[in-house]
Amino acid sequence: MSSFADQVAAQIPSSTRMISGCHDTQTSADANITAFELPNPAGRRGGACTAALLQVLYNKQGGESWVDVLRMMRANLEEGGYTQVPQLSSSKLIDVNEEMTIVENPSGTKRAVLIGINYVGQNGELSGCHNDAANIKKYLINELGFDERDMKILMDDGRHTNPTYANIMAALDWIVRVSQPGDTVWIHYSGHGGRLEDQNGDEDDGYDETLIPVDFQRAGQIRDDDLLKHLVKPMSAGVTMTCLMDCCHSGTVLDLPYRFVADGDHVEMERNDGFDLSSWMDVAEAAIGVAIAANVIGDVADVASECCNIL
């Protein structure tokens, strides 16, 4: 019988890592990003997780491990008065004491999908998600050599592609379709996150984690099952994908089997106790035919009431 790692690799050929701002039960927060001393920030407001990570990345001296980066993120958050605990999840067991790398193969093409949703004009409007996307874009281009022509940027600012359910899924489908072995992928989401009752029995806590597109009242929320089906599982072998999810309830929004929590107690990556490989392998098939109408649809203010702290 093949090992657990082999079974996971058969389902996820790529190397997928996700940095999230909090556990599934925690909320994220808007932050005054000038307090994080980012170089030329796009604005005064942003997501605390995005700002904390960028501060670490800009100040790296070289050789910092995943443990170092996540613990420095937490220190930055604590200094700003935030209680969020960053965590790293992965499709493969990572030695988190080795150097953190985003670009494994410099000669490969580097692509990104950047999503920033302020929910302009809706109750529960956020103020910093556009700045998050702009600041991440600047870092990727100036520090890692990404080309804007290889990016899809979605923001509800009237200038970029509107981050609707359909447009977000199309952007994810695009980056999966064009990415080849040796390429680098960066996915960034800054906006509301939520939880919906699990529909196929694959969640240990009974809830799917979700991303909330700008048109969620009409189109529904993007479940972790959708992300698994459209992004994680179909990404090509040999692609290194890093995702930054700056939203509430983001700890397992990609449903990855390994994780490291920067809580000061963990020193290595561990298998996710709530991960059920047997149900996870069938999740894409089980999700087919689930009606959008089954999603909980309501005003974004209802989401905000249990989600992001707007400071």
| Spatial separation of the C-alpha atoms in residues 202 and 255, rounded to whole Å | 10
| Spatial separation of the C-alpha atoms in residues 94 and 18, rounded to whole Å | 12
Name the nearest CA neighbour of 242 among 9, 7, 19, 1: 19
pLDDT given for residue 12 in this prediction: 93
The token duo for 221 is: 């929320």
Kindly tell me the burial class for residue 30, based on how many C-beta atoms sit within 10 Å of its own C-beta (0-12, 13-18, 19 or more). buried
Strand partners, 31: 46
Please determine, for residue 276, whether its predicted confidence score (pLDDT) is greater than 90.
no
**152: enclosing H helix or E strand:** strand 151-155
- What would the mean pLDDT of 268-292 be, rounded to a whole number? 58
Residue 274: band (very low, low, confident or very high) from pLDDT cuts 50, 70, 90: low
Residues in CB range of 306: below 8 A, 6 or more apart: 27, 248
At residue 48, φ and ψ (nearest 5 deg) are -60, -40
Residue type, 172: L
More confident residue, 219 or 293: 219
**175: enclosing H helix or E strand:** helix 165-178
- Model pTM score: 0.84
Selecting among 22, 248, 307, 308, the annotated active-site residue is 248
Please determine, for residue 41, whether its predicted confidence score (pLDDT) is greater than 80.
no
Active-site residue, 23 included: no
| Spatial separation of the C-alpha atoms in residues 19 and 12, rounded to whole Å | 17
Residues in CB range of 91: below 8 A, 6 or more apart: 8, 9, 12, 14, 15, 16, 17, 232, 256, 257, 258
What would the pLDDT profile of 233-245 be if each residue is shown by its tens digit?
A: 999 999 999 999 9
- What would the mean pLDDT of 209-219 be, rounded to a whole number? 94
Residue 31: band (very low, low, confident or very high) from pLDDT cuts 50, 70, 90: very low
| Spatial separation of the C-alpha atoms in residues 171 and 153, rounded to whole Å | 9
Selecting among 188, 192, 230, 249, the annotated active-site residue is 192
pLDDT given for residue 265 in this prediction: 84
**52: enclosing H helix or E strand:** helix 48-59
Active-site residue, 192 included: yes
